[in-house]
Amino acid sequence: MNLVKSKRNRVSHILIVLWTVCVLIFLYIPMVSVVLASFSKQRYFRFPVPAWDTRWYEKAFVSLSVRDLIWTSLSVATLVTIISVVLAFFGALAFARYDWKGRKLYQRLILLPIFFPQAVLGLALLLWFSAVGVTTSWHTAVFAHLIWILPIVILIMSIQVYSFDPALEEAAFDLGATRLQVLREVTLPILSPGIVSGAIFAFLLSWGNFPLSLFTTGADQTVPEWLYAKMVSGYTPMVPTLGSLTMGSAAVLLFFAYVIYLLVQRRRGAGAGTG
């Protein structure tokens, strides 16, 4: 009886693994499609690709307008990352570290923007900017991205903060450390993995954001906006090329973050071993 059961279990395990692999492949189909199209020589994509070519990459690298697009996207994403990490650090402490009256309400309200349709949020911000009398440009896009990204970064950092033992801070205070010293020597190092992953999410979510940028960048244009405009009308093979380049840069960033994470882990492990 038990033998039959375990055999049936094994079959279902194999089925689940197979299904998971299929869905993972499904998730990466579009990325592979974009990369394939970016190396195609023809102006209009067809498959199987008759001839391969890298000239669209060469064109992208020398194009001044591409450089402008990347510069705008990069500026927005960098500012969003810096501001959201600073605000979210305190926001996450309030979310998960301290116990205070009103915290439950704060937790719910602060997460609301994540559930909000981004396109509608972008349009609402457009009305808001025009009412306040601010001309839209990439600066206003930074503001718009923050409304959606800040709650996400708070959520990510909170996960780290939950596992943080407040007794460590109190011990430092008891030993005579000042508030600033405790922050620099105890709180920040312990929470640093959460801060780093929050920063990476902030940067990449801003780098790839389209619905908020669409309505709030004014005359400036980010890479995702340009891609959308060209997809809808005036297709050029530069679309898959620039798409592949943004995917590649995201992959490189993540790879370096992972390497740095491993190095830090190893150094910490060594430090704990000798100390």
Partner 1 sequence: MAQGSTNSFLRWLRQPGVLAAIPASVFLLIGFAGPLVMVVAYSFMPSKTFTLMQAPTLENFTSVFTDSYYISFSWSFFLALVTVGLLLAITYPIAYGMAKLFGKWANLVTLLVALPLLISENIRLFGWVLFLLKNGIMDGSLQTLFGVSASGPLYTVPAIVLGLVYVYLPFMLFPLVIGLSMIPDTLKEAASDLGATRLQIFREVELPLSMPGIMIGCILTFILTLGSLAESKILGGQAVVMIADDIESAFTFAQNWPKGSVLSVLLIALSGLIVFLLFRRIDLDKIIGKR
Q: Can you state the angle between helices 55-62 and 64-92, rounded to 10 degrees?
A: 80
Smallest separation (angstroms) from partner 1 to the CB of 86: 8
Residue number with CB closer to partner 1 (74 or 111) = 111
**AA letter at 99:** D
Q: What is the DSSP code (8-state) at residue 33? A: H
Minimum CB–partner distance for residue 53 and partner 1 (Å): 16
Spatial separation of the C-alpha atoms in residues 193 and 195, rounded to whole Å: 5
At its nearest, how many Å lie between partner 1 and the CB of residue 169? 10
Q: Which of 81, 136, 187, 209 binds partner 1 (CB under 8 A)?
A: 209
Minimum distance between the CB of residue 274 and partner 1, rounded to whole angstroms?
28
Report if residue 204 touches partner 1, rule: CB under 8 A: yes
Q: How far apart are the C-alpha atoms of 209 and 213, rounded to whole Å?
A: 7
Q: Which of residues 31 and 263 has its CB atom nearest to partner 1 in the complex? A: 31
The two tokens of residue 81 are 């990352």
Number of H helices, E strands in the chain: 12, 0
Q: Are 144 and 122 in contact (CB under 8 A)?
A: yes
Position among 39, 56, 138, 143 found at the interface with partner 1 (CB under 8 A): 143
**Residues 101-140, interacting with partner 1 (CB under 8 A):** 101-104, 106-113, 115-121, 123-128, 131
24 versus 274: smaller Cβ distance to partner 1: 24
